[in-house]
Structures are given as structure tokens and as C-alpha cells.
């Protein structure tokens, strides 16, 4: 229990909630998805239990991935698009080698 790994990780969690104004007493009510993304330097058991994906920024590999056809490049593009301020801060904390790899993959697409 406790800390599984040390490093730099981005943890994405998706929470399904009733949409605003949804009539939850009715069957098949509309749901919305809330996405929560956090950066941690110590990966813990709770992160593995509750997260949708865990991306290791040091190796650019998933520690966990519950999303079909969700590659590292798609994940990085999604994070850059939807969380631009956080993304730039996370990338500043990664090594130059990882940043070069991310930039090379961006240029190839």
C-alpha cells in the first residue's frame, strides 16, 4: 500500500454525472462527463484504482489505460488542446529528451 512509483505522471479521471437540468427520476436521463486531470510525482494505489488513464511523462508510456484506441500521441494532443496552461507546466518539468520525443512525434503527424 502507499506509493507505487516515483516519477512524473499525468492522471486522468472521468466522472459521469447527470447533465444540468436532467430529470434523474426518469429512465435514460442525460449524463455529462467531467474530466479531472492531475500531475503527481508519486503514483499511489488510489490513482490506479480510480483513474481512467495514467501517463508516465518520463517514459511516455501508459501505466494504466482504460480507453480503447487511446495512444500516447492522442493523449498528449488531447491534454494540449483541453488543458493548455497545465500542459505547458507539465512539459517544463520533464526532461529535454522527453520533450524532444514529443516534438518529433508532433512533427511526424
Residue 26 has pLDDT above 90, yes or no: no
Q: Mean pLDDT over residues 65-80, rounded?
A: 91
* Domain carrying residue 24: 3-108
pLDDT above 70 as % of the chain: 83
Question: Rounded to 5 degrees, what are φ and ψ at 11?
Answer: -115, 125
Distance of alpha carbon 54 from alpha carbon 66, whole angstroms: 9
pTM above 0.85, yes or no: no
At 62, is the pLDDT very low, low, confident or very high (cuts 50, 70, 90)?
A: very high
Number of domains present in the structure of the chain: 1
Q: Please write the tens of the pLDDT for every residue from 32-53.
A: 888 999 999 999 999 999 999 9
Residue 96 has pLDDT above 80, yes or no: no
Amino acid at each position: 500500500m502507499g506509493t507505487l512509483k516515483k516519477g512524473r505522471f499525468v492522471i486522468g479521471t472521468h466522472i459521469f454525472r447527470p447533465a444540468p437540468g436532467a430529470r434523474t427520476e426518469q429512465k435514460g436521463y442525460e449524463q455529462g462527463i467531467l474530466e479531472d486531470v492531475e500531475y503527481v510525482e508519486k503514483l499511489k494505489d488510489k490513482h490506479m484504482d480510480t483513474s481512467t488513464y495514467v501517463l508516465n511523462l518520463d517514459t511516455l508510456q501508459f501505466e494504466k489505460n482504460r480507453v480503447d484506441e487511446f495512444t500516447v500521441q492522442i493523449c498528449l494532443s488531447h491534454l494540449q488542446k483541453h488543458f493548455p496552461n497545465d500542459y505547458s507546466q507539465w512539459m517544463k518539468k520533464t526532461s529535454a529528451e522527453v520533450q524532444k520525443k514529443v516534438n518529433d512525434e508532433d512533427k511526424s503527424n
